[in-house]
Structure 1
Amino acid sequence: MTDRDWKHVILLSADALRADHLSSYGYHRKTSPVLDELADESIRFGNAYSASSHTREAVPALLTGEYPDIAIDDGYRLATESVASTLSEAGFATAGFHSNPFVSRAYGFDEGFDHFDDDLHLGQHKLVALAQRALDKLRNRHYARADEINERSLEWLDSLDSGRSFFLWNHYMDTHGPYEPPGEYATRYADREVSGREAQKLYQRAIDDPESITDAERELLIDLYDAEIRYNDARIGEFLAALRERDLLEESLLIVTADHGDAFGEHGYYEHPRYLHDEITRVPLIVRPPGGAAEEVETPASTLDVGATIEAAVGSEATGDGVSLLGTLPDDRTVFSQARGEDEHGHLRRYASRTAEGACFCERDRESGTIEFGECAGSALREELEAHVDERVRVENGESVEDDEEVDEEIERRLDALGYK
């Protein structure tokens, strides 16, 4: 395909959505009927991996096509050009809608967007911000629900001049913990309704003290998580229907993916800490060009490829480490992931590589320079990962860049509600 086969680019990403909990990826529950149908008319990548395991590194990689050690600085601020900037320079109207504080304007992620709604109103109008904060606390609201994201983004689409090419990024937070499926979804899989307070306490305890979680509590967490997936899937369906009503879908390159997954004790932890196991790095990846497609690709793919695909779609030369997903991927491809340690493990860097044959993991100590390898599917894969780590060491600047701007208390409140504090 050429860059003239579509007018618009739409990127839909879900926070903490693991691939193996979607029915389109073989899950035993029918959690994603909308994405199932979309996958049938798209290119579905069965083995796609995020460039990292948590939002602060995964979303920058997704939006730039660069590994996190280039995409962001030591303060997690955006440090390189995103696809929004590339498309804006190419004449596209650009907009982003989400409510994750880690990729808000406070960290520079509004760069390149004509319209950037990160659901943080402080600094826009103080009285509105105070009223919003009071209402949010009363409603126990941690993020904008998918229906809100849809409403805001469709309103922006309807405001554009007819015929104007656009880039739209919607990032949905519903599948991020604490898992509190709304309305009818609350008992979709759970046999009883769980209060918001109970769901939050259980989620936080799973993070803080995973060994205390019983089998029944683990199953309850999964029930609630799956229900959030079903809710989010339905809202994506509503958004796609709205695009069809506006005759926009057939003019658009549509990409659906996630920034990372979520764990349920498979390796002794819950949520998505700074590790690189499959449950927190294997993500859905569905690419629908205008007119659709019907293809399944099992060759490993990376979220870095999203940026490369978008850049190729508008005729720009890819500057990052990804490749276009609309081309043919080599059968022997290797994809890599990385994650920075945090707090007392801030000196550690973790890396993983994946091929059709398996995976390899290692951990590098920046202070001592030593590398420890974990599970590895063969010596060849180990050597390849070791060479990759050497390359990342060469591009690492080693300098600490402090963010002098204090993150406002609205961001702190949101992060606390999402289980990060």
Structure 2
Amino acid sequence: MSRPNVLLVVMDTTRHANTLADGTFESLPALARLASEGTVFDGAVTTAPWTLPAHAAMFSGQYTTDHGTHGGTQYFDPDRAPLARRVRDAGYRTAAVSNNTWVTPEFGFADGFDDFYTRSEPFPSGDDPAAAREAVRTDPLGALRDAVADGTAASTAGNLLYDRFLRDRGDDGARLSNWRIGRWLDAHDGDEPFFLFANYIEPHLPYTPPAEFLPPGFDSGVAERVAQDPWAFLMGETDIGERGFETLEALYEAELRYLDARLGDLFDRLRADGTFDETAIVVVGDHGENVGDHGLMDHQFSLHDTLLRVPLVVKPPAGTGPTVGSVSAPVETRDVFPTLLELAGADAPTHPTVSDRSLLESVCGRADAHREHAVSEYLHPRPSPETLRERFPDSDVDVDRYDRSLRCIRTPRWKYVQATDGREQLYDVAADPDETANLADDRPRVRDRLRRTLRAERGRFDRPAEPADDGTDRHEPPAGTERRLDALGYI
């Protein structure tokens, strides 16, 4: 395990139920092959249910309340000496390829990377094509004026031309990401091991998979008509219905199959040039997705297992000896941080808020690195109730019920969820995996025990204060970034 290459792959918005429900990647052959050479962590739980705080946890080893990056403070502070900087200081060449706008230099994630490639279009400075088309549709003159003022007119036009004539239909950037990774690897001289981080956004809304990955007999006409606006659904502006959600589920699973194929291309590329065996690979979902589950779409406003349980695979470099095939006990995605640092031989922080539970303990059978429980937090609702009311002024839906912070503790049997508005939930997830029956009043001893454990481990639970106005705008993304986030459903 001396200085292997290290590859971290994040499958954005990928939930356990559609990947590892039976304990294997039955419908995802590339991941199944990778898992056969490493360890599957079937009990993996993300520390946060959406992209920004979930990635900050993997880059810092901390919970959201500790790294402080969430919907209210939208910036990952590089002063935390994040993952890439530590790995680079250990003698690695580092690169990142990210298709999620949240995981970019604009939000603090570039620190420690020698090269950082963003976006699913060739011109990162330009607008996302979907956002550009929507801007032109609603206000063509204003869109042109803004593009000229921002200096993005030419790059946006280039992205639109690429999207219209060159981009593979249904591809959200995976193919372009693989091309960028291939070029970067070709330019890598091999004198230094590499650390490569790649975020693939395919399973994220909107679901638009290539036709060849849809199930046989799939009605594409229904797919074109079904609404994919999660906030219009939440506010009662669209009625998707049972058939509509069945369609969305089929589209979501097709996105996963397409992403698996592109990951297979990436792994085959490493095999072809002889670097696969000497590369440690970690593949993880940053969070899951609600596809009509619990009356919700997207991945906000709840801490249900549809958002928290994610796939996690660790494939060590060849020569490390036999590996444990599967671990069912709880682990947290923030444990990815010490795992990668150990693989790279990098210095690890000793701060008590940082995870020191390397998953390699379990992978290599040295010790049992699992946890008795996992903790997740959701500190700031996004979009805010005010934003939803502004976007849907005629809706009579009470969105103030989402104006709260959440945290939970999950054991193999029980899940306790606490909200800052005083509401509590308790689920027997072993007997009720869909979390349909709230037992908070029926099992008070279990509820109180888990509440005490959560309090002892994480302290008081209060709504985080609004960020102070310090005269800077580093937490406010520029207009072009806001438009790209809006195209992904982040309003």
TM range (shorter): 0.7 to 0.9
Kindly state the Cα deviation for residue 400 of structure 1 after the two structures are TM-superposed.
3.1
Q: Is the CA contact (8 Å cut-off) linking 1:21 and 1:27 kept in structure 2?
A: no
Kindly state the Cα deviation for residue 349 of structure 1 after the two structures are TM-superposed.
2.1
* Partner AA of 1:151 in structure 2: W
State how 1:227-238 maps to structure 2 within 5 Å.
227-238=254-265
Kindly state the Cα deviation for residue 190 of structure 1 after the two structures are TM-superposed.
6.2
The reply on whether 1:268 has 2:295 as its aligned counterpart is yes
Q: Is the CA contact (8 Å cut-off) linking 1:178 and 1:199 kept in structure 2?
A: no
Q: Quick one: distance in 2 between partners of 1:179 and 1:401?
A: 37
Percent identity for Structure 1 against Structure 2: 28
CA distance change for structure 1 residues 101 and 331 in 2, over 3 Å: closer, same or farther? Answer: closer
Unaligned runs of 5+ in 1: 366-370
Instruction: Identify which of 107, 112, 131 aligns with 2:157.
Output: 131
Look up the match of 1:160.
188
Kindly state the Cα deviation for residue 69 of structure 1 after the two structures are TM-superposed.
2.4
Q: Quick one: distance in 1 between partners of 2:473 and 2:74?
A: 12
Look up the match of 2:17.
20
Look up the match of 1:303.
333
Kindly state the Cα deviation for residue 372 of structure 1 after the two structures are TM-superposed.
3.8
Q: Quick one: distance in 2 between partners of 1:222 and 1:391?
A: 38
Look up the match of 2:272.
245
Q: Quick one: distance in 1 between partners of 2:118 and 2:64?
A: 21
Kindly state the Cα deviation for residue 28 of structure 1 after the two structures are TM-superposed.
10
Unaligned runs of 5+ in 2: 127-149, 362-366, 386-399, 429-445
The secondary structure found in structure 2 opposite 1:63 is helix
The reply on whether 1:51 has 2:47 as its aligned counterpart is yes
CA distance change for structure 1 residues 88 and 31 in 2, over 3 Å: closer, same or farther? Answer: same
CA distance change for structure 1 residues 76 and 181 in 2, over 3 Å: closer, same or farther? Answer: same
Q: Quick one: distance in 1 between partners of 2:219 and 2:186?
A: 40
Look up the match of 1:97.
97
Q: Quick one: distance in 2 between partners of 1:125 and 1:293?
A: 52
Kindly state the Cα deviation for residue 329 of structure 1 after the two structures are TM-superposed.
3.1
Instruction: Identify which of 222, 225, 250 aligns with 2:252.
Output: 225
Q: Is the CA contact (8 Å cut-off) linking 1:75 and 1:401 kept in structure 2?
A: no
Could you list the per-position Cα deviations for residues 45-69 of structure 1 after superposition, in whole angstroms to 9, with x for gaps in the alignment? 0110111001121111122211122
Q: Is the CA contact (8 Å cut-off) linking 2:4 and 2:317 kept in structure 1?
A: no
Q: Quick one: distance in 1 between partners of 2:107 and 2:170?
A: 19
Q: Is the CA contact (8 Å cut-off) linking 2:16 and 2:309 kept in structure 1?
A: yes
Q: Is the CA contact (8 Å cut-off) linking 2:5 and 2:280 kept in structure 1?
A: yes
Kindly state the Cα deviation for residue 148 of structure 1 after the two structures are TM-superposed.
1.0
Kindly state the Cα deviation for residue 127 of structure 1 after the two structures are TM-superposed.
6.3
Kindly state the Cα deviation for residue 205 of structure 1 after the two structures are TM-superposed.
4.3
Look up the match of 1:181.
209
Q: Is the CA contact (8 Å cut-off) linking 2:110 and 2:116 kept in structure 1?
A: yes
The secondary structure found in structure 2 opposite 1:275 is coil
Look up the match of 1:68.
64
The reply on whether 1:340 has 2:374 as its aligned counterpart is no
Instruction: Identify which of 277, 281, 285 aligns with 2:304.
Output: 277
Look up the match of 1:411.
481
Q: Quick one: distance in 2 between partners of 1:100 and 1:401?
A: 27
The reply on whether 1:385 has 2:454 as its aligned counterpart is yes
Q: Quick one: distance in 2 between partners of 1:398 and 1:409?
A: 22
Q: Is the CA contact (8 Å cut-off) linking 2:170 and 2:210 kept in structure 1?
A: no
* Partner AA of 2:342 in structure 1: A
The secondary structure found in structure 1 opposite 2:329 is coil
Q: Is the CA contact (8 Å cut-off) linking 1:302 and 1:322 kept in structure 2?
A: no
Q: Is the CA contact (8 Å cut-off) linking 1:31 and 1:227 kept in structure 2?
A: no
Q: Is the CA contact (8 Å cut-off) linking 2:222 and 2:247 kept in structure 1?
A: no
Look up the match of 1:400.
468
Q: Is the CA contact (8 Å cut-off) linking 1:263 and 1:270 kept in structure 2?
A: yes
Deviates more, 1:82-91 or 1:396-405: 396-405
Look up the match of 1:364.
420
Q: Quick one: distance in 1 between partners of 2:243 and 2:23?
A: 20
Kindly state the Cα deviation for residue 131 of structure 1 after the two structures are TM-superposed.
2.6
Structure with higher Rg: it is 2
The reply on whether 1:39 has 2:35 as its aligned counterpart is yes
* Partner AA of 2:315 in structure 1: R
Kindly state the Cα deviation for residue 221 of structure 1 after the two structures are TM-superposed.
0.3
* Partner AA of 1:225 in structure 2: Y
CA distance change for structure 1 residues 325 and 201 in 2, over 3 Å: closer, same or farther? Answer: closer
* Partner AA of 2:452 in structure 1: E
Q: Quick one: distance in 2 between partners of 1:196 and 1:410?
A: 29
* Partner AA of 2:185 in structure 1: L
Q: Quick one: distance in 2 between partners of 1:347 and 1:220?
A: 30
Instruction: Identify which of 424, 431, 436 aligns with 1:373.
Output: 424
CA distance change for structure 1 residues 88 and 391 in 2, over 3 Å: closer, same or farther? Answer: farther
Q: Quick one: distance in 2 between partners of 1:27 and 1:163?
A: 39
Q: Quick one: distance in 2 between partners of 1:275 and 1:95?
A: 33
Q: Is the CA contact (8 Å cut-off) linking 1:211 and 1:268 kept in structure 2?
A: no
Q: Alignment RMSD, CA only? A: 3.1
Q: Is the CA contact (8 Å cut-off) linking 1:18 and 1:283 kept in structure 2?
A: yes
Q: Is the CA contact (8 Å cut-off) linking 1:260 and 1:281 kept in structure 2?
A: yes
Kindly state the Cα deviation for residue 362 of structure 1 after the two structures are TM-superposed.
0.4
Q: Quick one: distance in 2 between partners of 1:28 and 1:89?
A: 36
The secondary structure found in structure 1 opposite 2:204 is coil
Q: Quick one: distance in 2 between partners of 1:89 and 1:194?
A: 53
Instruction: Identify which of 209, 229, 232 aligns with 2:236.
Output: 209
* Partner AA of 2:348 in structure 1: E
For these two proteins, the number of residue pairs brought into alignment is 410
* Partner AA of 1:390 in structure 2: G
